Amino acid sequence: MCTYNTVRTEVDGSAKGPHGKWFHVTDATVYYDHPVHAMAAHTLNIDVADPAGGPSARVALELTATAARALATAIEDALVAVPEDLLT
């Protein structure tokens, strides 16, 4: 069953796309749905993109719920270890 729950947020960063080319990303979309490629019934899908760059300016992740939670924890753990004056 699909939830159709989609969360969008603005981001400021870079992603490596096709042919190893880096590009600026401005948007992130997160949703739990059927994957396109991952071998699972449902995945947490994360797309980061620069809509102004067209369809090729996009990087997509399809993660199992367990993997998505582990990634979220790893991100929080990495940020907690950074001195406050370095966070921007």
* pLDDT tens per residue across span 3-51: 778 999 999 999 998 889 999 999 999 999 999 999 999 999 999 999 9
pLDDT the model gives residue 1: 64
Which residues have a Cβ under 8 Å from the Cβ of 74 and sit 6 or more positions away?
none
Tokens 């399809």 correspond to 62
- 2 vs 48, which has greater pLDDT? 48
Beta bridge partners of 30: 7, 46
**pLDDT exceeds cutoff 90 at 2:** no
Give the CA distances from residue 67 to residues 10, 11, 16, 44, 45, in Å, rounded to whole numbers and listed in that order. Answer: 23, 21, 21, 9, 11
Specify the pLDDT at position 74.
97
69, pLDDT greater than 90: yes
